[in-house]
Chain A
Amino acid sequence: MALQDVQILIKGSRDGLSFFLDPHCSFDDLLSALEARFMGAYDHFLQGPPTEVHVHFGTRYVTEEQIERVRTLIEQHGSLKVTDVIRDVFDKKEVETMLTRMSLKTEVGIVRSGQVVEAAGDVLLLGDLNPGGLIRARGSIYIFGQLMGHAFAGVGGDPAIIVAHDFRPTRFGIGRLALDEVPRSLYGKASFAAAHKNRLLVLPLKALRGLPFVLDEAAEEMIALETAGNS
């Protein structure tokens, strides 16, 4: 296939640039065509702050490695940053993992001392998590009762929250962040924990409605407090 037959469509919008890449040609042809597009007319990409790029692969199946190659190619040709990859075709294994991540494990009753609940997705507990009990989830944790034990959400690094009707964990964490203390004003209240800007935040349940903006405020407040404390 000749390079000029490879369809590469670039559209600009308020959010940045969208690259629609031909799903029908070979991957090598696609890379060469992309390279050729950068040679010449698009040198004005080189200046200024990075422009966001959304890459659309359409019905082409691409591996992680191929995505990386396209990303590198685009980013080395100017002040561009690939922020999103959109594709219609997924590997079966990938889809299965996605489905388990989306799954909700429901537990009814009390998770008692010495008991462990683990989940590849979210956990819904209709009952209490007693001291000495543990819930570890790749997704979020929702507790319709007292959270008194150990709760760790977002274990794989995915964004997650921990919600409880009565928030008083022994220790809790999201991703790599963990705390062994709840702000006194929220101890035993309906609250949730979320991670934002590398900080573990605890907020009243009402603030859930204000997601994600409340997290910015709360994180900034926390940072301000920290800097005030340091100076």
Chain B
Amino acid sequence: MPIQVRIPAPLRKLTNEQELVPATGANIGEVLTNLNTAYPGLFERICDESGNVRRFVNIFVNDEDIRFLEEKATPLKEGDEISIVPAIAGG
């Protein structure tokens, strides 16, 4: 079972309105780079000029925030689910 990536509504224009897309890569960084080949423009929406994940974008691997794992080097295995979630305002 490949890695699945959940795409948030504001980015679905880039994935032909698909909510769940398959991806490959040994870690988050590779997945993002590979996704950009399939869906050009996706990378710069998620990462800044230095290639770091943008401050108001959260990436979860199986519900765990990658900021508390190994960030973009977080290793992945078959069947993992990645969610890309814009931060929520409020309060």
A and B from one complex: no
- By a beta-carbon cutoff of 8 Å, the part of chain A in contact with chain B is none
